[in-house]
Amino acid sequence: MFRGSYEHTIDSKGRVSLPAQFRSLLPKDNERLVITNYIPSHLWAFTYENWIKLEEKLASFPLTDSDIRSFKHFFVAGAHDVSVDKLGRVLVPPRLREYAHLNKDVVFVGSITHIEIWDKGNWKPTFTTSESNVEQVARKLADLGF
């Protein structure tokens, strides 16, 4: 399970070190991720195994539903397989870097089943908003049995 947040720097070629805490959760025989765009303007990264489960779930939804097709166009079409190199870095494809505005400072955020990748400047206001809403959300989660 991915948890915590870690700041790293992305280089001009788009390489960024995956936090060691997250690397340790990847299968040793398959150190790769699937990275895709998500809203608003950040990325989601999945282990290959978790991505396959997600694709299987999406494949079970009706092909004729226009909302599902739109989501697939955005989410699945934006996905890229990336490998973790010997130095523990991943290469974020240019289109994804552009979408998430990743220029220098990035934040990796653990989200249990996946990793979120944010530009540091975009993460700060997102975290502040989450922090200010936490009491309301905690009540909602309590209603759901958490």
Instruction: Say what the pLDDT of residue 107 is.
Output: 98
Q: Tell me, yes or no, whether 62 lies in a domain.
A: yes
Q: Tell me, yes or no, whether 53 lies in a domain.
A: yes
Q: What pTM did the predictor assign?
A: 0.93
From residue 88, alpha-carbon distances to 13, 29, 139 in Å are 15, 14, 39
Q: CA-to-CA distance for 81 and 45, rounded, in angstroms?
A: 9
Q: Tell me, yes or no, whether 135 lies in a domain.
A: no
The alpha carbon dihedral of 55, 117, 1, 129 has a sign of negative
Instruction: Say what the pLDDT of residue 116 is.
Output: 98
The number of domains in the chain is 1
Q: Tell me, yes or no, whether 131 lies in a domain.
A: no
Instruction: Say what the pLDDT of residue 30 is.
Output: 86
Question: What does the block give as tokens for 91?
Answer: 């290469």
Q: Tell me, yes or no, whether 40 lies in a domain.
A: yes
Q: CA-to-CA distance for 32 and 85, rounded, in angstroms?
A: 9
From residue 12, alpha-carbon distances to 29, 41, 63, 97 in Å are 29, 19, 39, 11
Instruction: Say what the pLDDT of residue 93 is.
Output: 97
Q: Tell me, yes or no, whether 140 lies in a domain.
A: no
CATH number at residue 59: 3.40.1550.20
**Domain range for residue 66?**
5-120
Q: Tell me, yes or no, whether 37 lies in a domain.
A: yes
> Would you give the distance in Å from CA 45 to the centre of its chain?
4
Instruction: Say what the pLDDT of residue 70 is.
Output: 95
Report mean pLDDT in 10-residue bins for the chain, 146 residues.
97 97 92 96 97 96 94 96 96 98 97 97 94 91 92
8 A C-beta contact, residue 99 and residue 37: yes
Q: Tell me, yes or no, whether 144 lies in a domain.
A: no
